[in-house]
Chains A and B, each alone.
Chain A
Amino acid sequence: MIQPRLGPRIASRRINRAPSPLLVRTVPWVTVVLASMVPAWPYIATAPLLPPLGFLVLIGWQQIRPGLLPIWAGLPLGLADDIFSGQPFGSAILLWSLAMIALDMIDARLPWRTFLLDWVVGAALIVAYVLGCMLIAGANVPLVAMAPLLVLAVFVYPLVGRAVALFDRFRLLPLAKVR
């Protein structure tokens, strides 16, 4: 017989418990919107440097839990991002919707995935997204000025993935009592 490794307190807390339905549904949406709000934090940038965190969290969720956010999630979440990003309104709605469709198709084509493959796919999407934003914003910024942001975004992405996994564990905490 397998002995339960957990202490009696935690074990008793887990028995007869299920994840809270509220957390299960809202955590992905809330985390993406909060990440989108980061530009409203008091860091005044003189050059584009901050990775597009809302987008990173979105594709992080889609890669860790494919299908958890519906394909149309790009519309409401992109709208929230457009309010804070400073891009022309509609750019995140368009690009996030396209990214969700692209990720769904990639998920269908490559069912077995590794960390490295996820990173490569994520990095490709990030680079495409940043360049798309650049085109839409229409600012004549030299490509060299975007290099720090691109490098930072690609290397931060695995960390964002870890953070999303942490949010996912929080999402599934057994908090509600089963009757």
Chain B
Amino acid sequence: MGPSANRRSGNSRRAQYTTFFSYVAGGAGAAVGAVFLIISFFQPGAFSWLRGVGADAVAPVSSAAAGGKTASRNFFESIGGYFAAGSKNAQLRHDLERAHVRLIEADAIAAENHRLKALLGISTQGERPVATARLVGSSASSTRRFATLDAGTAQGVAVGMPLRSQLGVIGRVLEVSRGTARVLLITDTESVVPVRRAKDGIPAFAQGRGDGTLQLRLISLGINPLKRGDVFVTSGSGGLYHPNVAIAVVGSVTTDGAIAQVLSDPGATDYVVVDRPWASEAQAAPPSDEPQAGAR
């Protein structure tokens, strides 16, 4: 390819000034970006209104496309079912997976009932979800793991509310605008969820690794009792996430814990449920609300 248009401004004052000021403007743009960046480091929520406006603006399109996504995936799933072993296969496998998770959760609940027979005074049975909505977007090219929910203050969603799908915990609400909310997924590196092993209640923290897996850190140090295939559920400590919701299954054991696969792939969920924080105290002081605050 030949050289681009003549870059030499020659003797023309006007051309010289134009070139000069375009460079000055470019440098000024970089400086403005740096200032914004410093502001957003010290006040992560400073520009949330701008993101909210943007998300609200594209939300109708995203929601419509999300509906299309579900429809098209179901379509291809049923075609895949025909090719594999009949059209019901995919549906049955889906149901079985769900039932499997439910079974583990039931085991966890039974174990807890057994342990805390005397202490079971708190009833959370009548709890109704705040909203049911779709995840309509995510920060797919960033190292942070955020998603956009197509429900906002208009549907009663507030900052700090936990989200779950049929298969397990998804994340929590970080910023809310009128019609959308920004969700911190549990796989984000700043997300820490208190968990325990479903069968015997060994407590641990599940921290995101940013690549779709969780790092499980045991609270009591010593011999690592974890094994591949162990299922973890939320413990409810901290008061944000409801206890006994399935979250992850151990994939590989490390020296001080394990790396676990998340059970509820947010990309494969149709609808998610927004709950109130489990304990009302959590609304006053959530365990780690600021996305930039060191949650480690």
Contacts and interface: CB of A to CB of B under 8 A. Distances in A.
A111 interface: yes
Looking at B40, B51, B140, the one whose CB has the most chain A CB atoms below 10 A away is: B140
Contact of A93 (B36, B140, B145, B190): B36
A39 B211 contact: no
Given A39-B137, A139-B190, A140-B189, A86 B146 contact: yes
A149 B140 CA distance: 10
Contacts of B29: 71-72, 74-75, 78, 93, 96-97, 100
Interface string B209-220: 111100000000
B44 interface: yes
A108 interface: yes
Contact of A97 (B30, B41, B47): B30
A142 B25 contact: no
Contact of A90 (B27, B37, B65, B190): B37
A146 B143 contact: yes
B86 interface: no
Contacts of A75: 25, 28-29, 32-33
Contact of A47 (B26, B51, B212): B212
Given A72-B28, A89-B40, A40 B55 contact: yes
B148 interface: yes
B29 to A, nearest CB: 3
Given A114-B1, A137-B142, A40 B188 contact: no
B3 interface: yes
Contact of A48 (B35, B55, B142): B142
A42 B65 contact: yes
Looking at B136, B145, B262, the one whose CB has the most chain A CB atoms below 10 A away is: B145
Contacts of B265: 46
Contact of B135 (A44, A53, A96, A139): A44
B257 interface: no
A44 B37 contact: no
Contacts of B266: 44, 46
A127 to B, nearest CB: 14
B110 interface: no
Contact of A42 (B38, B137, B146, B189): B137
Interface in A127-171: 133-134, 136-142, 145-146, 149
A75 B133 CA distance: 34
Contact of B32 (A84, A93, A133): A93
B109 to A, nearest CB: 27
B62 interface: yes
B143 A134 contact: yes
Q: Is the interface of B mostly helix, strand, loop or mixed?
A: mixed
A94 B209 CA distance: 26
Contacts of A101: 23, 26-27, 30
A158 to B, nearest CB: 14
Looking at B1, B28, B29, the one whose CB has the most chain A CB atoms below 10 A away is: B29
Contacts of B146: 86
B267 interface: yes
Interface string A96-130: 11101100100110011110001000000000000
Given A52-B141, A53-B141, A100 B65 contact: no
A87 interface: yes
B139 A86 contact: yes
Contacts of A88: 37, 40-41, 44, 292
B35 A137 contact: no
Contacts of A146: 143
A22 interface: no
Contacts of A118: 1
Interface of A: 37-53, 66-67, 70-72, 74-75, 78, 82-98, 100-101, 104, 107-108, 111-114, 118, 133-134, 136-142, 145-146, 149
Interface of B: 1-5, 7, 22-23, 25-30, 32-41, 44, 46-47, 50-51, 53-55, 58, 61-62, 65-66, 69, 134-148, 185, 187-190, 209-212, 262, 265-267, 269, 292
Question: Closest 4 A-B residue pairs measured CB to CB?
Answer: A86-B139, A90-B36, A93-B33, A94-B33
